[in-house]
Chain A
Amino acid sequence: MPPKKEEEEEVDYMTMVIEEPKVTPSFRPKKDPDRGRTKSKKQLEEEAAEAQKEAMATKIDSSNKGYKMLARMGFSGGALGRGADGLIEPIQAEQRDGRGGIGLDTEKKRKIAEATEQETKRAKTEADEYIKRKRDEVETADKERNLRKAQNIAEEMDTEAEKKQKAKVEGEKSEDASPPAEKRLAEIPVLYRSPVFLRRLQEERDRSRRSKRRAQDYGEDDSDEPRDFSGRITHQSNKKREHTLDEAKLKTYVEDEDAELKEFEALAVAERLEKLVMYLREKHWYCLWCYAKYDDQELDGCPGLDEDLHG
C-alpha cells in the first residue's frame, strides 16, 4: 500500500530529527582558539609536511586488508623470503632541498652540534661563575660585617682598658675624672682607624645640624636640605648620601694623608679581619667567635682561630 509506506517514511524522517539531540547530549563546542582564524601559508605547509612525515612513519597494521591477505598466505610478522632475511621496514625516501653536495648536511649538522655543545658549556661555566661570584659576595659581606663588629669591640675594649689604666694612674686622688681628650687620628690603632674617622665625620655633621636646628628655631632657615611635601627633611635618603660622601672623604684621607692606614686598607677583608681577631685575642684575651673574654693569655677553652671551628 503506497500511501502507508510514504507515511512511514515521513515518520522516520521526523524521528530522526527528534532523536538528534538525544544522540549528542554531552556535545560541547570545542573551544579552539584557532577556530575561524585563517592559517598562514607557511603554517599550512608545515602542518602538511608534519602529516606526511607521520603517515610515512605509521606502519600498516593488522586491520588492513592487505595485511590480512598476506597473513592468510602464511605471514606472521618479520621479514619475507625463504630465509626470512628480507627488509622489515620499507626504504624511506629522503627529501633533499637545494643543491648541497654530499656530506654538506652532515657537515652542517656536525657544526651545529659543535656550536650547541660550546654554547651549553659556556652557559654552564657562566652559571658556575655566577654562583661562585654570589657566594663570594655573600662571604665578603659576612666578613665585612664581622670586621666592623671586631673593630667596634676592639675600640671599645681599648677605650675601656685605657680608662682603667688612667684610673689606676690617677689613683683614688681624683674621683671626678674629666672625659679624655679626643685622640688624634694617628694615635688610634690602624686596625679601627677607619670607623673612627667615619664616626667623627658623622658626629661633626650632627653637631652642625643641631646648631642649625637651633638657628631654625629662631626663625632662620637657610637649610638647603631637601624636604618632602609636608616640609620635613627627608632624612632617609640623606643618610645614604652622607654615607657615600663620608666614604669618599675617607678615601681621600687615606690616599693623601695616612700611609699607614692606606697599607692596612689595601689588605683583603679576610686579612684585616684576621688581624683584628689576633689583636683581640692577644691584647684582650677575647675571642670574636666565642663572644667571650677569657681569663688567660692562652684563651683556654676556645676551639681555635677559625670561625669554622666554632660550630
Chain B
Amino acid sequence: MDPKTNPYLAHRYDGAGDNSGGGYMPRQPKTANSSTALSNFTMHNTTADQARKAEDGPGNPFTGKPLSQRYFNILKTRRNLPVHQQRDEFLKLYQESQILVFVGETGSGKTTQIPQFVLFDDLPQTRGKMVACTQPRRVAAMSVAQRVADEMDVQLGEEVGYSIRFEDKTSQNTIMKYMTDGMLLREAMNDHNLERYSTIILDEAHERTLSTDILMGLLKEVIPRRKDLKIIIMSATLDAAKFQKYFDQAPLLAVPGRTHPVEVFYTPEPERDYIEAAMRTVLQIHAAEAEGDILVFLTGEEEIEDTARKISLEADEMIREEDAGPLLVLPLYGTLPPQQQQKIFEPAPPPRRPGGRPGRKVIISTNIAETSLTIDGIVYVVDPGFSKQKVYNPRVRVESLLVSPISQASAAQRAGRAGRTRPGKCFRLYTEAAFKKELIPQTYPEILRSNLSSTVLELKKLGIEDLVHFDLMDPPAPETLMRALEELNYLGCLDDDGELTELGRMASEYPLDPCLAVMLISSPKFYCSNEILSITALLSVPQLFVRPANARKRADEMKDLFAHADGDHLTMLNVYHAYKGDQAQADARNWCYNHYLSHRALQQADNVRSQLARIMERQNIDFVSVHHSHEKFYENIRKALVAGFFMQVAKKQSSGKTYATVKDDQVVMLHPSTTMGQDSEWVLYHEFVLTSKNYIRTITPVQPEWLLDISPLYYDIDTFKKGEVKTGLLRTLERMRRQEHLHKKS
C-alpha cells in the first residue's frame, strides 16, 4: 500500500492547517447552491449511482470548487475498497432504519468511506447539521480526518474537521466531524439531544471504551426524542449480535475485509519466560521462514525497548555467522514520539548484497497494533498472550495497570494481523488448552475496569437521573458506582441525595478528573490559581521527564536541577516556569532535549493550560498569585493540592520507610522518582501504582492540620479505624486545640 493512501499517515502528507477555533456557534443552513452536483438530491432518497456521478465531478459536490488531480487519483483507489461493493445495500438499510449496526473488518474502508456515503445521502449541510464519527483515540481522529479531507479535496478544518480534548479543528463550514468518543460525550452534556448532528457514527464500537459505552446508553435515550437522528454503530469484529440485541434488533450489514487465511501454531508446553520465548520465536522465523515482516505483541515500553535491543544484538550475530538477511527491529508504543512511531511504516531493509537473503522488519508493539494501527506487510505474528490492562478495585480504590492475559477475541484479532497482505502465520506462545481454558472469551469493557467518578459526574450532567437502571450494555458492579458517588460527595460535587451541586456543575465543565477540577476551582481561596492551573495542565499530559535507558544518570542529574524539596508537584511547576522563561523559549526544542524533558508534553501542557483557562474565565474564576518570594508561596500551593486530593494521602508507618493510605490502610512505598527532599509524616499523592510493589507517585508533603482544616468531612475522626492514622489525627487535633487555646489567651 502506498503510504500516501494510508489513512493513518494522512497527516504526514499535508501541512497542518491553522486551528480555526470552531466553537459552538449556531449554524446556518447553507443556501442551496445550484452549481453543485447535489442540488437535485433528496435527503434519504439517493442511490449509489447518483453519488458516484456527483463524485466524478467536474466540480466538488460540496464546495463547488474544481477538483484536483490528486482527488481523482485517490477516488480510483477508494472505489477498490470492499465497502464500495455494498454501497447500495448500505444506503437502503441506512434509509430504512434509525439505527444500523455495521460490521467491517479492518481494511474494508469503513472508517473513511461510510461517513462519506452518509454525507451524500444525509445532506447535513441543507439543515445546518453535521455528521459525527467517533474514534476511541485522538491520533486516529486526527489522521482519519486529514485523510477524509484529502479524499474530499477540502482543507482540513473546513468541511471536514476533527475535535479532540483540548483541540478543536472545525469551523462553520464543517459538515463531517471526526472526534473522540469522549468529546462527543462532553458535547452531549450541554446539548442533551445532540441537536447539531444529523447522523452519529460510533466507530470501533467493539473496543468498548468507557465513553463509547456511555454514548450508546445515552443514544438509546435520545433516539425516541429525536426521530430524525440516525445512528450507525460500526464494529470491526463479528460479535455484532450483542450490539444488535442491545439496540432492539437493529439491522446489520457486514462487509468482508481483505484478509487471507492465517495458520495458528501453539506451543506444546507452557513457557517459563514469555519474553525469552518471543525472542527465540522471532529469531527462528528469521532463520527459517519465507520473506515477510514480523509483529510481536509485548506489554510495555520498558519490556519492548529491552527486547528490541536484545533481538537486534542476536540478529547481528546471525548475520555475521549464518549470513542471515538484515533485520530491522522497531519498537512501537503509545508514548513513543510520533516521528519514531512513523518508522514502522518504512519498508523492510533490502538484502545486503544482490541475490542475498531478503531483509525483514520486526515490530515489537503494545496492543496498539492490535486494532488501531494497521501495518501492511506483516506475515508473522508472535503472540505471548499478554497485555497491560487497567483494572479498578473500588474496595481499595486503586486503579492499576497490570500485565494480564488477553481474551480469545484479542488473540483472534492479533492473529488476523498476519493475514493482511498474504496468507500468514501466528505463533501463540501458549498451549491450545491454555487458550481454551485460561483466556476469557471477550475482553472486559473499560466500564467494568475503571474508576467511574468522572463518568458519574458526566452522567449527572447529561441529565441521567436513574443511575441504577441506566441501560448500559454491561452495567458495572454496584460497588464501583458507590465509590464514585462517595468520592463525588466528599469532593462536594454531589449532595447526599446524589444531586449535582453548584461545584459539581462547574467541575463537570472541565475535561478533567473531578479531583483536578475541584482543586482548580478551589485554588483562588489559596491565592494560587495561576500556579494550580499550570500544575493541573502538567498533570494532564504524559510523562514530562524523559529518562532514556542509556542516559539515566544524566537525565536524573538534569531533573535534579528542577527538584523542589517540597515535592514533585512543585518540581513540575519549576520545570514549567523554566520552560516559559526567555532562555528556554529562545530554542525550546533544544532546551528540552538538553534537559531531558519532553518538548511535546510541555507544548501540550501549554495548550491544555490555555484551554482550561478559557473555561475558568467563563466561570469567572479569579487568576491570582502571590509573589514567588512570599513566604507562603509554596505552602499555599501545597494547601490547594489538598483541596482536590485529600482522599489520596498516606501516612508514614512507625515501622520505617513504608506509608499507609489513610482510609484503606494499604501499605505503599514512595516511588523512587520522587524529588521530595524531606522525611514527611504525611504525603499527598497523585497516583497509586500497583505493580509487584505498591508505589505512590508524584508526591507532595502535607501537614495533618491542613487535612483537618480543608476537608473536615473526610477527616471526621470517628470514621477512622483504630490505628496509626487515627492516633496521628487525634494528636494533631489536640495540638490544634492547644494552639487555639493559646491563641485565644494571648
Contact = CB atoms under 8 A, between A and B. Distances in A.
Given A90-B479, A101-B270, A101-B385, A39 B655 contact: yes
B358 interface: no
A94 B389 CA distance: 11
B461 interface: no
Interface residues of B, number: 74
Contacts of A95: 402, 690, 692
B471 interface: yes
B494 A81 contact: no
Contacts of B435: 102
Contacts of A36: none
Given A69-B497, A100-B270, A106 B394 contact: no
* Most chain B beta carbons < 10 A, residue from A48, A75, A92, A96: A48
A82 B216 CA distance: 14
B476 A101 contact: no
Interface in B490-548: 490, 494, 496-498
B273 A100 contact: yes
Contacts of A75: 468, 478
B470 interface: yes
Give the dominant DSSP class at A's interface.
loop
A58 B483 CA distance: 13
Interface in B282-303: none
A179 to B, nearest CB: 87
A187 to B, nearest CB: 77
Interface stretch (A60-68, A137-145, A169-177, A199-207): A60-68
Contacts of B478: 70, 75, 78-80, 86, 88
B423 interface: no
B391 A93 contact: yes
Contacts of A17: none
B469 A93 contact: no
B557 interface: no
A60 B274 contact: no
A168 to B, nearest CB: 91
A96 to B, nearest CB: 6
Interface in A78-128: 78-82, 84-104, 106-107
A96 B272 contact: no
B277 interface: yes
A72 B494 CA distance: 13
Interface in B661-704: 664-667, 690, 692, 694
B477 interface: yes
A215 interface: no
B475 A81 contact: yes
A101 B429 contact: yes
Contacts of B449: 91
A66 B486 contact: yes
A81 B395 CA distance: 21
Contacts of B385: 101-102
A5 B658 CA distance: 45
Interface stretch (A25-33, A49-57, A285-293): A49-57
B235 interface: no
Contacts of B485: 65-66, 69-70
Interface string B387-409: 00001111110001011110000
Nearest to B431: A103
A57 B664 CA distance: 12
A51 B496 CA distance: 30
Given A69-B494, A81-B471, A91-B449, A96 B395 contact: no
Contact of A86 (B472, B664, B692): B472
Contact of A106 (B437, B479, B484, B665): B437
Contacts of B197: none
Contacts of B487: 66
A311 interface: no
Interface in A265-310: none
B104 to A, nearest CB: 29
Interface in B164-183: none
A56 B665 CA distance: 11
B439 A60 contact: no
B477 A87 contact: yes
Contacts of A74: 466, 468-469
B275 interface: yes
Contacts of B439: 102
A302 B2 CA distance: 111
A59 interface: yes
A73 interface: yes
Given A52-B694, A101-B273, A90 B468 contact: no
A65 B483 CA distance: 9
B31 to A, nearest CB: 44
Contacts of B467: 70, 73, 80
Interface in B240-284: 267, 269-277
Given A52-B666, A81-B470, A104-B272, A60 B475 contact: no
Contacts of A79: 475, 477-478
Nearest to A48: B667
Contacts of B430: 101-103
* Most chain B beta carbons < 10 A, residue from A51, A89, A98, A102: A102
B395 A86 contact: no
Contact of B384 (A67, A68, A73, A101): A101
A44 B478 CA distance: 33
Nearest to A103: B434
A48 B403 CA distance: 21
Contacts of B483: 60, 66
B71 interface: no
* Most chain A beta carbons < 10 A, residue from B275, B468, B486: B468
B726 to A, nearest CB: 16
A9 B690 CA distance: 50
A90 B393 contact: yes
Contacts of A51: 665-667
A105 to B, nearest CB: 8
A58 B482 CA distance: 14
A101 B277 contact: yes
A91 B444 contact: yes
B94 interface: no
Nearest to B666: A52
A70 B667 CA distance: 29
B468 to A, nearest CB: 5
Nearest to A39: B655
B404 A52 contact: no
Contacts of A84: 469
B578 interface: no
Contacts of B584: none
B548 to A, nearest CB: 23
B666 A87 contact: no
Interface of B: 267, 269-277, 384-386, 391-396, 400, 402-405, 429-431, 433-435, 437-439, 444, 448-449, 466-472, 474-487, 489-490, 494, 496-498, 655-656, 658, 664-667, 690, 692, 694, 741
Q: Which 3 A-B pairs have the closest CB atoms?
A: A86-B475, A101-B271, A103-B434
9 contacts: A52-B666, A64-B482, A70-B481, A72-B498, A73-B498, A80-B467, A86-B475, A89-B477, A100-B271
Interface of A: 9, 38-39, 44, 47-48, 51-52, 55-60, 64-70, 72-75, 78-82, 84-104, 106-107
Given A65-B490, A94-B404, 20 more contacts: A48-B658, A48-B667, A57-B395, A66-B485, A67-B482, A69-B486, A69-B494, A70-B481, A72-B497, A72-B498, A74-B468, A90-B393, A90-B394, A90-B395, A92-B393, A101-B271, A101-B272, A101-B273, A101-B277, A102-B274
